Amino acid sequence: MTLLAPLIKWYHASKRDLPWRETTDPYRIWLSEVIMQQTRVEQGLPYYNKFVDKYPTLHALANANDDDVMKLWQGLGYYSRASNMLKTARIIEAEHEGVFPDTYNRLLELKGIGPYTAAAISSFAFNEAQAVVDGNVYRVLSRLFAIDEPINSSKGKKLFAEVAREVLNEKVPATHNQAIMELGATVCKPKQALCNVCVLRLQCEAYKQNRVYDFPVKDKKRKPVDRFLNYIFIKDARNNTYIRQRVDEGIWNMLYEFPVIETQAATDENELLEHAHLKERFSHQPQQLRLLFASKHQLTHQTIYAVFWLAEGQNIVPLKPEGFIKINLNLIHNYAVPRLLERFINHILPQQ
């Protein structure tokens, strides 16, 4: 396909210097893809470097401590990526003798690797002719051909996969995929697109029609749900507190948290002291709650309003079935927590 021929020359001259582009090691390519999903390069690059330094091989990651991996991941968000990455690494180690499958179809057989990641690994590591379609590719193709099918619809995903295959340069699939992704990241940007320097502008239908920002088309997202979380922070005379690890497969699975009570709306200390869950969760009910910190946290489909309360009283201990452990507060930084809790911890322990 010669339509995108100028792209290859542009890429060689203009590409960013990124470490995962200098290797064909499937482990490091896979690691970069997992980290960079839903993450900007500027944010993800330091995490990639930290992971490579600590876990330079698949074997090292597969044998890592879960809590250590989650702590290293802390701050990136979308924590299920980290837990799924660990599971997949262990599957490859146990069932494939630590060797990555080398084709798209065999990679797809691995639990935890979907079509996008399988295409990226097979293309970048093994130069298999598979089209990689990420958010940047959706944007470039939708503008190039003025495709008005929503990219987040089943029909749209199928259509864009077909278009990506049609334009794929099968002689140099790895370079082609990197090039179109790079164009989307650095030139064909969501806002402030640099059309005047784009090597594909003369072929671009959206540019010809002066409709660049009409694409890509998306079905309307559902409105984020408001959630109100009240964290109960306990600190005893010996500077101990209580935390537990979440094991509910939610967005913060495997991360640690303080006792928490969710309410239907914002509440004050008097209402919270009378809340049924508060009375059920402690061996001795707090006598007072003192506001320490409040924060708003925006997720894709949730807006979280979090309030952190200091529980005051004697012998306030969470009930054992809740799974809490007692730790010294000075060790709290050793545990992986959601960004929301990290803000609070940095607020109360600014010197650490």
pLDDT tens for residues 284-318?
A: 788 899 999 999 998 878 999 999 999 988 888 88
Confidence (pLDDT) at 249: 65
Q: What three-state secondary structure class fits 264?
A: coil
Confidence band, pLDDT 50/70/90 cuts, at residue 58 = very high
Do 345 and 256 contact (CB within 8 A), yes or no?
no
Instruction: Tell me how far CA of residue 115 lies from CA of 56, 157, 216, in angstroms.
Output: 25, 11, 21
| Nearest-angstrom CA–CA distance, 138 and 186 | 14
Catalytic residue, chosen from 22, 33, 205, 249, is 33
Catalytic, 33? Answer yes
Looking only at the bridges linking them, the beta strands covering 260-263 and 288-298 are: unpaired
pLDDT at 94 over 90: yes
pLDDT tens for residues 171-202?
A: 999 999 999 999 999 999 999 999 999 999 99
Angle (nearest 5°) at CA 91 between 88 and 96: 125
Do 260 and 231 contact (CB within 8 A), yes or no?
yes
Do 259 and 325 contact (CB within 8 A), yes or no?
no
pLDDT at 350 over 80: no
Sequence-ordered list of residues with C-beta below 8 angstroms from that of 291, at least 6 positions apart, any chain: 269, 307, 308, 309, 310
* Mean per-residue pLDDT, 130-156: 96
pLDDT at 237 over 80: yes
Confidence (pLDDT) at 192: 94
Instruction: Tell me how far CA of residue 63 lies from CA of 27, 55, 251, in angstroms.
Output: 14, 9, 24
Element (H, E) at 327: strand 325-328
| Whole-structure pTM value | 0.81
Report the 10 Å Cβ neighbour count for 294: 12
Which of 5-19, 196-210, 273-287, 304-318 is predicted with the least confidence, judged by mean pLDDT?
Answer: 273-287
